[in-house]
Structure 1
Amino acid sequence: MPSVFSAIIAGDLPGRFVWEDEDVVAFLTIAPVTQGHTLVVPRKEVDQWQDVDEELFDKCTAVSRKIAQAVRAAFDAPRAGFLIAGLEVPHLHMHVFPAYSMGNFDISGAETDPSPESLDEAADKIRTALRNLGHGEFVPA
């Protein structure tokens, strides 16, 4: 059975995508720790991060760095947080988010019901920042 992330990637479930390439996608989480919290996910289903082949892991982290630069710029954040937890969905995903304090790294305290408007606004800001950083070819319309 495909993971919920595979269903989002396939378009069977909605997602607010900010990055798409042949191997990796990034979309906003529906449980953000801060506005702009984005998940970087390989298209290939791999459960454990330590089991992914090195080339795909490197590509995921490279995309995560680009998303981190964009969320810092889009939300004027002093830092970008980066976590790999993997307990919520059995499909490798990297959490990238604007970080303002150490408390932002506690994903158990994530917002459980963000407004659609807040998520749409965050996606638009990240897409704009990615385009401004020169990554427009990977930003969905």
Structure 2
Amino acid sequence: MSVFERIISGEIPAHKIAENNDYLAFLDVSPLVMGHVLVIPKQPEDYIFDINDESYAGLWLFAKSISKAIKSAFPCKKVGVAVVGLEVPHAHIHLVPMNAVSDMNFSKEKLKPSADELASAAQKIRSFL
């Protein structure tokens, strides 16, 4: 069972942003920048392009709504999008508030926010949904 499946089941706590029957958005606990959100399908699939068409389209529409809230909560030039998929064997989309290309550099050292900082960031994003 992947870490994301354990988050979906509630076994591992997460700073959830939004959730419905099919998708979940939550803060990355080791973000590139504050406001970095992961969007996942609840149905486990390792490779994003193996997701069936309806679920794939739904995942991106769900991510779009989350990106608007991120941009409002963490004013930035754009919300960057990345699908890397090597860290966890469960398809996921990274949504990252960005003001410079370097904000999307996955090889740089990640932030280590406290639980309180993450809770505050999650509440801030949720307030714009």
TM-score, normalization by structure 2: 0.96
1:105 aligns with 2:122: no
The number of residues matched between the two structures is 129
- Do the aligned partners of residues 129 and 110 (structure 1) sit closer, same or farther apart at CA in structure 2, a change above 3 Å counting? farther
**Structure (1 or 2) with the greater helix fraction:** 1
Instruction: Tell me if structure 2 keeps the 8 A contact 1:84–1:93.
Output: yes
- Do the aligned partners of residues 121 and 7 (structure 1) sit closer, same or farther apart at CA in structure 2, a change above 3 Å counting? same
Give the aligned partner of residue 134 of structure 1. Answer: none
Moved more, 81-90 or 108-117: 108-117
Give CA-to-partner distance per residue, 1:52-92, whole Å, 9 cap, x none.
11111111111111111111110111110111000110000
Distance 1:98 1:42 in 2: 21
* Deviant stretches of 4+, over 3 Å: none
Distance 2:78 2:46 in 1: 28
Instruction: Tell me if structure 1 keeps the 8 A contact 2:80–2:104.
Output: yes
Instruction: Tell me if structure 1 keeps the 8 A contact 2:29–2:112.
Output: yes
- Cα offset for 1:113? 2.2
Distance 1:5 1:62 in 2: 20
Distance 1:25 1:113 in 2: 22
Give the aligned partner of residue 29 of structure 2. Answer: 30
Moved more, 27-36 or 106-115: 106-115
- Cα offset for 1:108? 2.3
Distance 2:108 2:120 in 1: 21
Amino acid aligned to 2:30:
A
User: 1:1-141 residue pairs with structure 2 within 5 A?
Assistant: 2-130=1-129
TM-score, normalization by structure 1: 0.88
| Structure 2: 5+ residue stretches without partners | none
- Cα offset for 1:14? 0.7
